[in-house]
A and B are shown apart, each in its own frame.
Chain A
Amino acid sequence: MPHQDQDTSLRHRLGRTLRTPIGVTALTACLLVVLVAVFGPVLLGDQAARIDTDAINRGSSAAHLLGTDQLGRDIAARVVVATRLTLRLTLLAAVIGVGGGLLLGVAPAVVGRRLGRLITATVGVLVAFPGLLFLLFLATIFGVGSTGAVFAVGLAMVPPMARLVQNLTASIAGSDYVAAARILGVGRFKLVVRHLLPNIAEPSVLFATQAAGGILVAFSGLSFLGLGVQPPEYDWGRLLNEQLNRIYVNPVAALAPGAAVVLTGLMFGLVGEVLAQAGGRRAPQAREATPQQVKPQDETAPDGDGGALVRARDLRVTFPGGRRAVRGISLSIGVGEAVGLVGESGSGKSLTALALADLVPHPGRVCAGTLRFDGHDLRADPRLGTELAMVFQDPMASLNPALRVGRQLAEVAEVHLGATRAQATARAVDRLGAVRIPLPERRARQRPHEYSGGMRQRAVIAMGLMGEPKLIVADEPTTALDVAVQQQVLDLLAEVRADSGAALLLISHDLAVVAQVCERVLVMYGGLIVEDLPVAQLVGGAAHPYTRALVGAVPTMATDPGTELATIPGRPPEPGEAGAGCPFAPRCERARKRCHDDAPELAGFGPGQRVACWYPVDAETAVAPAQAASHGAEATS
């Protein structure tokens, strides 16, 4: 679903994540650290600096919680006071690191090709350099002291940050909207500020926060080694350095600054985690009430199938959030029949097909009164692999790019039919030949990228033919192909059907494609089947105003260029917003009050035709559709 609710915006998700235990902890920790950094030196500065020669190297006592150091200064106060300097230096180094990383990371996308390559290569070399070594190398160059350490630690963070930003930017820079901005003559700086940075912000911020934790540890390490902060200034690393030699005398004095480093580092990690949860798809979902399962009606009469290969009654597909993508449809497909399923995007046509194959993606739930395939209850016993073949829109997504095509096909026979490897390979070659792939033996040894788009789709169809499919479900099989190849694939589907006697469920938004291959057409709208008609009736005989409008909207080679194309005003309903009436009523010029109040059921209209409409086209002259005559029509509430 391309639609994303405004409610799930970053701010909203951040708010939700902050209310989780991890969010609360991160927020509290942040507040605490900031308060300590701001008020610590103000309140305890004097105490931390007061030299008391009477109390040198004391242990923990009531007056000095963590004891005193070699000059008699209170260590607890010094740990608190050191927070400000430690944080300031850490953040300063992080700013250098993030700034440098962003600069080097974004640059290749906006500077010339040669300079860009040079930058990329340089960053690559620096990333390969061990981080700690790089840090010590820089620290030696910049010399001992806070400033040197800040630069050393900050610059050491630049290469990994730059690498991340480069990768993120490269994908954004290749996008259409950046191309559009380039055509519009948007300058480099604006391109970066408006288009590149906002779109890489989330992962970059996440990386920066987690890197800040690393910087804290690295900085403390430098100070501990004596390369960082120099007396009389002190940070946690320095305190650790001063107290470590007394760890057996007064362990808490050495452990306290260490603990401060670890806890603050953890805080950075937590903040990163919160941002990751809010920015990523892992944001905690609002709890859902489980939709009540429709009681499987006890249908003990398999002969109720009436010769149908597939029979579904009251099929529903729901998603969390109350989105009902398929809202209780009933359909049957006869043995060897070719049925087309048409509708706009979001009408639920693909999910209907996926429900038949038990392939509805995760949060979706399928329930049905009846869902039978070839005499089996699909709800209890999904039939895939051999009896039901699926062909999807993008053949490249159905084929494993790393495997030879022949091998992939053979796998089907090995797994599902128990064939030996040799048998399976022979069958794969045979099937590739059956879908008219020239030189099938040679082609079987090739990988998918060596195939053209049309040939890949043939290979996917061949994969479906490895078994003896009784039903081929083809979901927009030709949408990604050009007209000439589309024609070949459609011809192939017709041939395959004639040869194998398999039934076909062809899903397409293109009425012409369906008209060419199918015998019967099901028209879906807003998650419901609104019309079921023989393909011959599609032009001229359609009874539902929606079907009529859909047919009228297709420009053909006979459309008069002097007239406006027919359109359907308004937009289809979102899966969550179906009201009580006919889903098409808001866009229907024939709609009356009844259409807005009550949903019509799919009812017999003419020979082989059913329509869900209170006032079907031509109904003025025809007899009003008898509701009782509806067979297999379910309540559409």
Chain B
Amino acid sequence: MSSLELRGITVRYGRFTAVDNVDLLVPEGTVTGLVGGSGSGKSTLGKAVVGLAPMQSGRVLVAGSDAGRRRGRSPVQLVFQNPYASLDPRMTIGASVAEALPREAASCETPARKAPARERRSACDAEVARYLELVGIDPARAVLAPDALSGGQRQRVALARALAARPAVLIADEITSALDVSVQGAVLNLLRRLQRELGFAMLFISHNLAVVRYLSDQVAVMDDGHLVECGPTERVLERPEHPTTRNLISCVPTLALAEEAS
């Protein structure tokens, strides 16, 4: 497994600079939380890493080698915020996951010379089943369309798809903000368990500091396109140095107020 290193990433849309010269290192096998207000550029940064946002300058290094402008399957996979939009409504969830499988692993797509079609198909199905099982979806449901699944289940499938691509680095872009609290917990538990088991590096983008605190080893704070603070989770959240961080922390609504009242 490998680290993710961003060097001098700048993203501009016309004259608007969404991300300005950001350097960030996500060490091997750890989780970095990326927080910031809306419009701070945190999601754009995540998109730029996987090539979905136009990068003016900067380099994306995965395990030390340039990965930013490579064609084909990206070693960095992204899980999107909205599980209702990130799965093709016309494909079964099994097909969605199968699409992500590396060719050499279970050649569902390219005709391997010796293996007959049936064997390839079943090898592919087995891989899909394995990934669905990994995220807690009954493999028997692989034939269902995303319509038949709830938001939390869809997000699990999206996670299975990203993991099936065997990413070196995973970017989770607000993956629980479209989910209910009760479902959020299950998805976060799953993500944390998988991260520890599979050991990929993860950039966890969220506006929810409590969630970031729960998952991350390191926290990076963005404001107005700049990276303003970055450090170990405990240090950043307990002794924030930048006013943006302090402001974000003070704005976290808590249930504790109810406790005080009582």
Instruction: Name A residues whose Cβ lies closer than 8 Å to a Cβ of B.
Output: 2-4, 6, 175-177, 179-186, 190, 194-195, 198-199, 344-345, 453, 481-487, 490, 509-513, 515-516, 535-541, 549-551, 553-559, 561, 564-568, 571
Contacts and interface: CB of A to CB of B under 8 A. Distances in A.
Contacts of B50: 183
Contact of B253 (A184, A199, A515): A515
Interface in B45-78: 50-52, 71-74, 76-78
A180 B184 CA distance: 22
A553 B259 contact: no
B88 A194 contact: yes
A559 B212 CA distance: 11
Contact of B148 (A6, A453, A516): A6
A180 B171 CA distance: 12
B182 A567 contact: yes
A177 B86 contact: yes
B213 A561 contact: yes
Nearest to B70: A185
Interface string B119-151: 000000000000000000000000001011011
Given A482-B38, A515-B253, A182 B188 contact: no
B80 A567 contact: no
A-B interface, 5 closest residue pairs, ranked by CB to CB distance from nearest: A185-B73, A536-B262, A565-B185, A512-B253, A185-B72
A195 B88 contact: yes
Interface stretch (B1-9, B17-25, B197-205, B244-252): B244-252
A559 B255 contact: no
B89 interface: yes
B194 to A, nearest CB: 13
Contacts of A537: 258, 262
Given A541-B262, A555-B210, A561-B215, 5 more contacts: A3-B147, A179-B52, A184-B74, A195-B88, A561-B214
Nearest to A342: B181
A566 B255 CA distance: 16
A199 B209 contact: no
B112 interface: no
11 contacts: A3-B150, A177-B85, A181-B99, A183-B51, A184-B161, A344-B180, A345-B151, A535-B261, A557-B249, A565-B186, A568-B185
Interface string B71-114: 11110111010101111111100001001100000000100000
B80 A179 contact: yes
B184 to A, nearest CB: 7
A6 B91 contact: no
A525 to B, nearest CB: 10
Most buried by B among A345, A483, A541: A483
A536 B261 contact: yes
B38 A453 contact: yes
B248 A557 contact: no
A249 B209 CA distance: 89
A537 B261 CA distance: 9
B73 to A, nearest CB: 3
Nearest to A515: B258
B30 to A, nearest CB: 13
A599 to B, nearest CB: 21
B16 to A, nearest CB: 14
Given A344-B180, A564-B189, A183 B78 contact: yes
A553 B262 contact: no
A190 B52 CA distance: 19
Contacts of A538: 255, 258
A559 to B, nearest CB: 6
B251 A515 contact: no
B185 to A, nearest CB: 4
Given A4-B147, A550-B182, A564-B189, A183 B74 contact: yes
Contacts of B215: 561
Contact of B251 (A345, A487, A550): A487
Given A176-B80, A195-B88, A557-B213, A550 B181 contact: yes
Contacts of B213: 555, 557, 559, 561
Contacts of B78: 179-180, 183
Contacts of B251: 483-484, 486-487
Nearest to A557: B210
Interface in B208-245: 208-211, 213-215, 237
Nearest to B158: A180
Contacts of A344: 180-183
Contacts of A185: 71-74
B150 A571 contact: yes
A2 B151 contact: yes
A484 B37 contact: yes
Contacts of A568: 182, 185
Nearest to B146: A177
B156 interface: no
Contact of A515 (B77, B88, B99, B257): B257
A432 B208 CA distance: 29
Contacts of B89: 199
B214 A484 contact: no
B248 A509 contact: no
Given A183-B52, A567-B186, A539 B258 contact: yes
Contacts of A549: 182
Interface in B172-190: 180-186, 188-189
A391 to B, nearest CB: 17
Nearest to B186: A567
A553 B148 CA distance: 25
Given A184-B165, A510-B181, A561-B214, A194 B258 contact: no
A169 to B, nearest CB: 14
B254 A553 contact: no
Nearest to B79: A180
Nearest to B244: A484
Contacts of B74: 183-185
Most buried by A among B87, B161, B248, B257: B257
B254 A199 contact: no
A558 B259 CA distance: 13
Contact of A557 (B180, B209, B259, B262): B209
B182 A553 contact: yes
Most buried by B among A181, A559, A567: A567
Nearest to A180: B86
B115 interface: no
Nearest to A519: B261
Given A453-B38, A559-B214, A176 B85 contact: yes
Contact of B86 (A176, A558, A571): A176
Given A199-B89, A482-B37, A553 B181 contact: yes
Contact of B52 (A6, A182, A184, A536): A182
Nearest to A560: B214
